[in-house]
Structures are given as C-alpha cells and as structure tokens.
Chain A
C-alpha cells in the first residue's frame, strides 16, 4: 500500500519546480513526505484545508494556494486524504 503512495509522491517530485510534497490523513498524521516538506507540518496543512472547506461546506473541497515572492504551497483535500505540494515559482 505504501509503495503505491511512494510512487505517486516520486511522480510529483519529478515534476519541474516541485521542492517538496506531503500527504496526510484526516487526523493530520503524515502518510508520506519528501523534499522540503516537513513531517511536522502535516497537522497544520490538514487544518488549513479543513478551514478552507468551511467557507463553502456544500461544495467539493477547494484548492488552497499560499504564495510568497518565489514559492508556492498548494493544498488539496480528496476524501480523507490531504496533499500538499511545495513549488518554486518563476523558473520557466
């Protein structure tokens, strides 16, 4: 089971400009992490996605994007699983 998840994480990490990737369950427990994504952020990432879901509870979970000048953090929830991708911006 973990092999499948590791394969997905590897695939995401091989995408250009991706610096880190994290997958967590609904309790905020880290299922997989790679690159700059820290295991300790799992709870926070799930909390952010849950908070964003509260805005429109009747719609499917939104994608949250947190941006700094040169980095991006994309958070998306799918069922009970939340994924986060940390990206570098600007390098085309």
Chain B
C-alpha cells in the first residue's frame, strides 16, 4: 500500500469497520473508517431500477479539489487509499490562460 504513487494515507478494514492496517494521514483513523463502512452499507441499497439486484459496486471514489479517496473491497477486506491529485495539470491550464 505504501508504494502506491501519490499516496497520502491508507486503511485496511474488516467488513465491520475494524482497522487492520493503516498508515500516513489515515493512521489509526477510526473516524474515517466508521464513515466509510457506513457509506458502503448505504451504497449497497442504491437504485433498484438503474442497477440489477446482483450488480454490486466494485469501486467508490470520493474526490476533493486536491486529493481523493479510493475505496475497494477484496477478500472481505475494505481497502481505502487517500491519494494526492497532482497540481501539474492545473498549472498547465493556468499557463495557457
């Protein structure tokens, strides 16, 4: 998890939200862990018309201006990574303007 490019922090949780591993900005961050497990349980019951009942989300991303959180579930564990959004692309726009 530490090797992910632009990584600012990470969490590995059990399905009930207990922190198994953590690092960086999210080290032992149980507040974020609780919010994310609640978010996953909410997303499980979204739109029955747009999504088939057997269609489960495979990835959730939460994007802020300069960083984003990526959430995936694998092997009954929840993986959360906080990543930086490089400002180089924003700088390029500024130069062009």
Contact = CB atoms under 8 A, between A and B. Distances in A.
6 contacts: A20-B50, A37-B49, A37-B50, A59-B65, A65-B63, A69-B58
Interface residues of B, number: 27
Contact of B57 (A63, A67, A86): A67
Contact of B60 (A59, A64, A69, A71): A64
B61 A36 contact: no
A6 B50 CA distance: 20
Contact residues of A: prevailing secondary structure: mixed
Interface string B48-86: 111100011111111111001100000000000000000
Interface string A53-78: 01110011011111111010100000
